[in-house]
Homo-oligomer: A and B are copies of this chain.
């Protein structure tokens, strides 16, 4: 166990994977000599050379397209997209090719690419360095979607992703890259997909969150506890595959649900979770499912604190559902 930040844990995960398997390689813009604009790939090129840590031209189309070709051939590429906001030039490759290779070939062509991208707001990044568009990828059959919120999960889920047989979108909450710290197991630490993490048990309301929203939910829970409201916090960790069983079990216990994410509300991930509960936990629900999310506007610069969910907004929503039913 070593204490480290979330971005260091990502870095350690990459080191470990490259050590384990010579077929693992990393590619992206500024990932080599520069060590990545967030330093997630720092030191890799010195350890593993420019053939396995590849600085690419400025083309996300090329990064993902060539990563797919490598994966088809049998390598295990880990592509970095510098900010999730810049993934769209690769969107065709991701939704039309990466997600569909195995299916369309009748299973002949697995395509195990991991795409890492820092995402989310809270760094004063404005319209184009702040977005959370995980819902696009969740809606795309064939992609797994993973979002850690702690250093240990960052390393453990990343190693699972790299050794998975399917394509994985691995989104890193850059806002807590350096503020989330914790003990991380050394060596080959893996966290399985499809298992939510109960951050805190509670009786009165279930708060579902992921990524940088998890610490905010915990803050809200602490405030609620002072008023005798016991909130259960579930960190979803993998959005696809989703641990629906955990979500439903929690609501069966608490009878109330608040779903939190930074992304815009309309057709966001929270809609899916809310719909699952409205269908499968219907008879347990005592009050409406509330969503605490970004608003249905592009992400702003000066007003990012207005846009982003806060612990206070989460707390207020939890109080509402508790009051209502």
Identical chains in the assembly: 2
Q: Interface digits, A283-325 against B, CB 8 Å rule (1 contact, 0 not)? A: 0010111110001111000000000000000000000000000
Which A39-91 residues have a C-beta within 8 angstroms of B?
85, 88-89, 91
Which of chain B's residues have a CB closer than 8 A to the CB of A135? 135, 139, 267
Kindly list chain B residues whose C-beta atoms are within 8 Å of the C-beta of A268.
139
Is A186's CB within 8 Å of the partner chain B?
Answer: no
Residue A123 lies at the interface, judged by CB distance under 8 Å to chain B: no
- B278 contacts A288, CB within 8 Å? yes
> Of B141, B270, B279, which is within 8 A of A289 by CB?
B279
Tell yes or no: A96 within 8 A of B by CB.
yes
From 240 to 282 in chain A, residues with beta carbon under 8 angstroms from any chain B beta carbon are 240, 242, 263-264, 266-272, 274-275, 277-280, 282
Q: Are A274 and B279 in contact (CB under 8 A)?
A: yes
Docked CA distance A85–B138 (Å): 17
**Complex alpha-carbon distance, A280 and B271, angstroms:** 13
Q: How far is the CB of A65 from chain B (nearest CB, A)?
A: 12
Of the four ranges (under 10, 10 to 19, 20 to 34, 35 or more), the interface on chain A belongs to 35 or more
Known A141-B266, A271-B272; judge A290-B279 contact (CB<8 A): yes
Closest to A325 in B: B282
Q: In whole angstroms, what is the CA distance A240 to B295 when docked?
A: 14
A interface residues, Cβ below 8 angstroms from B = 85, 88-89, 91-92, 95-96, 99-100, 103-104, 127-128, 133, 135-136, 138-142, 240, 242, 263-264, 266-272, 274-275, 277-280, 282, 285, 287-291, 295-298
Seed contacts A142-B298, A274-B275; 5 additional CB < 8 Å A-B pairs:
A103-B297, A141-B264, A141-B266, A279-B289, A279-B290
